[in-house]
Structure 1
Amino acid sequence: MRQHDGQIAADQRAGRRVTPGTVPSRVVGHRRGSPAANALPQPLGPYECDLVRRSLTVVEPQAQDLAVYFYAILFMRHPGVRDLFPEDMDVQRDRLLRALLRIVDLVDSPEHLARFCSRLGRDHRKFGAVTAHYAAVGECLLETLARYAGPAWTPETALAWQRAYGIASEVMVLAADDDARLRPAVWSARIVEHRHLGNALAEITVVTDPAYPYQAGQYVSMETPWRPRVWRHYSPANAPRLDSTLTFHVRHVPGGHVSHALVYRARVGDVVHLGPPEGDMLLSNASARDLLFVAGGTGLAPVRALIEQLAADREQPERRASLFVGARTGDELYGFNDMLRMAQRHHWLTARAAVSHEHVPGAQGFLPEVITTAGPWDHAEAFVSGPPGMIAATRQALRRCGMPASRIHHDSWGVPVLDAPLEPAHQEQEEDHYT
C-alpha cells in the first residue's frame, strides 16, 4: 500500500471526510488551526491564469481519453478509492471535465471559485471521501494533464496548475470539515408509504431520524440500495412536517435506473439515503410582492411545498398567488386536482393548467404562452420549476413581460453542484435589462 493509501485509511479511522479531488491543506501551505486557515488562499496572477486556460484548451478535445486515463491510474495506484464511485463511470467522467472547466473559468475570481469549491467539498462528503483522497487525485490529475498537454506542459504551466488545484482543494477541505461539524454527511430514510399515481409516476414518503433539515423549495440528492453510489436529485413535495416525513414525486425516465427502481421496485420498509439539502428557490428570498408559481412535470413538487409553506406561515404578508401547471398531455398533468382543492381552501391562490400536445378544453396551450396571456406580471415575483427547456422558455417569456431577472427564482438541474449560480440568490441589484 502506498503512503497516500495509508493516510486515507488513517483519515477514515479518524472520521475525517471530504471529496475526491483535492490536496490536503498542508500541501497548500495553510496549517489547520492557524489564523490564516479560514482565509482565501492567495489567488493566481493573470499570467498563471492564462497558462492554465491555454493548457486546458489543448487537452479539451481529448477529454474522453483524458478522463479514462485519469481514473485508470487513480484506481490502479489507490485501489481503495474505487469504492467511492459507481460501477458505471460514464457520468462521473463527464462530471470531472465539467468541474475542471468551471474551476478554470473561475480561477481569476477568488470569491466565485471559493463558493464553487465549497459546494463541491460539502457535496462530496456523502460519497465517503476523506482528506487524503485529495492528494491522490491531485497527483493523478496533474500527471494526466501533463500526458495529454504534450509540449504545452511547461514547468511554468505545471506550477500554475499545481497552484490552481491547491487553491481549489484548500477550499474544499475546509468547507467539508466545517460542514462535518454541523450535520451528518447523509441521512437514512425509511420508506413508509409508496403509492403509484399512474403514467410511470410514484409518490414516495420517507421518514428520517434525526429529522431532515430542509426548507420548502429545496431539492435533495438520493441514493438507493439498487444503485449504490449513484445519486439523483428529487424535490420534497411538502413543507417540513412535525413527523419528519418527506414526500417525493418520482417519474420513471426511460433508461433511468434509479427512477425505475424507485417507481417499480421500492417497497415500504426499504431504506434510501439522502444527501444535504440544496437550492435557493426559497420564499425567504422573496419580497412582499404577489407570487407567480410555474411548474412543469414533477417540477410541481417543490412548488407545492412552497405553497404549503405560504399557507402555513402566518408571518408572511398576505398576497395573491397564481399557479400555472404545464404538461404535454392530460395524463401527465398529475396533482392538478389537489392544487385546485388547495385553491378552494385559500382565497389568495388561483390554479390553472396548460396542456400543449392534446386538446383539453380550457387548458390548451404551451405553458409560457398561457402565462404571458394571463399577465401582466411586471409586479410579481416568480418561482419556476420543471424541465430545463421549460424553465428557460418561461424565464424568457417573463422577461419579455417586464419581470426583472432578479425576481425569477429557479434552481439548476442535471448536476446542480456543477451548474448552480454562484452569486447570492437573485440580488435586487442584478442587471435587469432584457437582451
Structure 2
Amino acid sequence: MGNLSRLLKESWTLVEEQQDKVAGYFYARMFLSNPELRNLFPVTMDVQRARLLGALVTSMQLVDDPDRSDEYLHALGRDHRKFHVEPEHYEVVGGALLEALRAFAGERWSIEYDQAWREAYQAISARMIAGAATDTNPPYWNAEVLTHERRGPDVAVLTCRPLQYPLPYRAGQYVSVESPRHRPRLWRTYSIANAPDADNTLEFHVRAVGAGWVSSALVRKVRPGELLRVAAPMGSMTLDASSTRDIVCVAGGTGLAPIKALVQELTRYNRTRWVHVFFGARDRDGLYDLDELNQLAARYPWLSVVPACSDDDGFTGEQGLVSDVVGRYGPWAEHDFFVSGSAPMVRSTLRTLAELQVPSIRIRYDAFSDG
C-alpha cells in the first residue's frame, strides 16, 4: 500500500499545476464517450470540476488509512446517489480520468503510474458502489420550506421539513441541498443548524455570495411553501459521548450552524462539561444569531459565549480575528475543540491551536465555501 501511495502522489505532481485543465479535459472525454451522462450534471461545471479534484486528492491522501478511506468513500458513494449515478457509470469515469492524466503528464507518464491509478480507481469505485448499494435511504428527500427569515442583506435562516421520511442525522453533520425551482442540478453543502428533534425540522444558515448561485437563491428567492431537495447527511464533526473533557467551539460567520446544533444536543443531557463558544464575524451585523446564543447561555450555566468582530471599531466585545481571540483565553490543552467556518478561518484557528499545543486528535472541524 505504501508503494501505491507513493506512485499516486508522485504522479499527481506531474499535473497538479494544471489541475483545472485536467478536470475540464476529463469531463469532455466522459461526455463524449457517454453523452447521456451530461444530463446528470449542472449547466455550469466550475464548482463541479473543483469538487472532483477535491475528492481525488482526499482519496489519495487516505490510501494508507483503510478505515478512514472506507468511511469516506462509502459516504461519497451514498452521496452520489442524488446524481442518479449507476454502477456502470464508474467504468466510463475511470477511463476518462486516466486519459486526462496521461494527456497532461505527457512523456513523464509511466506504465507504473498508469497501473497505480487503475488499481487505486478500482478500489475507490468498488467502495463507492458498495456504499451506495447498502444505503436503504432514498437518494434525496423532498423538503418543504416552512420559514425563511432574513438576518441582514446577505444572510437567511430557513427551516424545512422532509415530506416522506425523517432524515436521520447527527448534530454537527452537513447535507447537500438543491433548489430545483431556481437552480436545478446544482447542489451545495450546508450544515444543519439544529439537533435532531421530534418535529423532523431542519434549520439552515446561508450567506449569499457574489458568484454563489445556490446560496443567492436560498437567501433571496426561496419562499415558504417551496420544495428543496436534501441529500444524505455526511461529516464526522459530531460529539464523542465517551469524552468527559470540556468543550471549545469556534465559529466564523454562518459556520455557526453546526456549532449551534452541537450546543442544542448538549442542552438535552450535559451537566458536567463546560462549553465555551467563540463566535466571530467582521462586524456586529455578521453576528446574526448572537441573541439566541446569549439566551441559551443565560439558561444553561455551563455555557459561555464570546463574540468577536475583526473590522468593527464600535463593537464593545472582543476585537480581532476569532482565531486570535481564542488564543487570549485558555489554557485549552485539555479540551475538545470544534471549529467551523470559511477555509481561511479554519486554517488560522488550527494554527493557533497548534501553537497552544492542543493535540490534533482532539480537534474536529469543517471548512466550507459558499456557492
TM-score with structure 1 setting the length: 0.77
Once the two structures are overlaid, the 10-residue window that deviates more, 284-293 or 383-392, is: 284-293
In the alignment, structure 1 residue 337 sits paired with structure 2 residue 287: no
- Show the 5 A alignment for 1:113-152: 113-152=69-108
Distance verdict in 2 for CA 1:165–1:260, change over 3 Å: same
Q: Which SS does the other structure have where 1:241 is aligned?
A: coil
In the alignment, structure 1 residue 311 sits paired with structure 2 residue 267: yes
For residues 171-204 of structure 1, give each alpha carbon's deviation from its aligned partner in whole angstroms, at most 9, with x where no partner exists.
Answer: 221121112xx31221111101111111311111
Aligned to 1:327: 281
In the alignment, structure 1 residue 238 sits paired with structure 2 residue 194: yes
Aligned to 1:422: none
In the alignment, structure 1 residue 408 sits paired with structure 2 residue 363: yes
- Could you tell me which of 141, 152, 161 is aligned with 1:207? 161
Distance verdict in 2 for CA 1:123–1:338, change over 3 Å: same
Distance verdict in 2 for CA 1:152–1:51, change over 3 Å: farther
In the alignment, structure 1 residue 371 sits paired with structure 2 residue 326: yes
Q: Which SS does the other structure have where 1:229 is aligned?
A: strand
Aligned to 1:430: none
Partners in 2 of 1:253 and 1:411 — Cα distance? Answer: 19
Partners in 2 of 1:107 and 1:390 — Cα distance? Answer: 28
In the alignment, structure 1 residue 266 sits paired with structure 2 residue 266: no
Q: Which SS does the other structure have where 2:151 is aligned?
A: strand
Q: Which SS does the other structure have where 2:366 is aligned?
A: coil
Shift of 1:375: 1.9
Q: Which SS does the other structure have where 2:197 is aligned?
A: coil
- Residue 309 of structure 2 contacts residue 317 of structure 2 at CA under 8 Å; is this kept in 1? no
- Could you tell me which of 146, 171, 176 is aligned with 1:216? 171
Aligned to 2:335: 380
Q: Which SS does the other structure have where 1:232 is aligned?
A: strand
In the alignment, structure 1 residue 391 sits paired with structure 2 residue 346: yes
Q: Which SS does the other structure have where 1:398 is aligned?
A: helix
Partners in 1 of 2:298 and 2:290 — Cα distance? Answer: 13
Aligned to 2:137: 183
AA matched with 2:354: R
Aligned to 1:352: 306
Q: Which SS does the other structure have where 1:230 is aligned?
A: strand
Distance verdict in 2 for CA 1:285–1:403, change over 3 Å: farther
- Residue 187 of structure 1 contacts residue 212 of structure 1 at CA under 8 Å; is this kept in 2? yes
Distance verdict in 2 for CA 1:133–1:349, change over 3 Å: same
Distance verdict in 2 for CA 1:58–1:332, change over 3 Å: closer
- Could you tell me which of 206, 210, 225 is aligned with 1:254? 210
Shift of 1:409: 2.1
Shift of 1:414: 4.5
- Could you tell me which of 37, 50, 53 is aligned with 1:97? 53
TM-score with structure 2 setting the length: 0.89
Q: Which SS does the other structure have where 1:283 is aligned?
A: coil
In the alignment, structure 1 residue 58 sits paired with structure 2 residue 8: no
- Residue 341 of structure 2 contacts residue 367 of structure 2 at CA under 8 Å; is this kept in 1? no
For residues 278-307 of structure 1, give each alpha carbon's deviation from its aligned partner in whole angstroms, at most 9, with x where no partner exists.
Answer: 122212356112222222111122111111
Partners in 2 of 1:318 and 1:105 — Cα distance? Answer: 37
How large is the Cα RMSD of the aligned pairs?
2.5
In the alignment, structure 1 residue 78 sits paired with structure 2 residue 21: no
AA matched with 2:19: A
Shift of 1:130: 0.5
Partners in 2 of 1:161 and 1:401 — Cα distance? Answer: 39
Distance verdict in 2 for CA 1:298–1:159, change over 3 Å: closer
Once the two structures are overlaid, the 10-residue window that deviates more, 141-150 or 369-378, is: 141-150
- Residue 253 of structure 1 contacts residue 259 of structure 1 at CA under 8 Å; is this kept in 2? yes
Partners in 1 of 2:361 and 2:320 — Cα distance? Answer: 27
Shift of 1:328: 1.0
Partners in 1 of 2:285 and 2:259 — Cα distance? Answer: 19
- Residue 75 of structure 2 contacts residue 234 of structure 2 at CA under 8 Å; is this kept in 1? no
- Could you tell me which of 6, 25, 32 is aligned with 1:69? 25
Partners in 1 of 2:281 and 2:369 — Cα distance? Answer: 20
For the pair shown, which has the larger CA radius of gyration, 1 or 2? 1
- Residue 288 of structure 1 contacts residue 317 of structure 1 at CA under 8 Å; is this kept in 2? no
- Residue 286 of structure 1 contacts residue 381 of structure 1 at CA under 8 Å; is this kept in 2? no
- Residue 160 of structure 2 contacts residue 203 of structure 2 at CA under 8 Å; is this kept in 1? yes
Stretches of structure 1 that go unaligned for 5 or more consecutive residues are: 1-42, 416-435
For residues 326-367 of structure 1, give each alpha carbon's deviation from its aligned partner in whole angstroms, at most 9, with x where no partner exists.
Answer: 111111111111111111111222222111211212333332
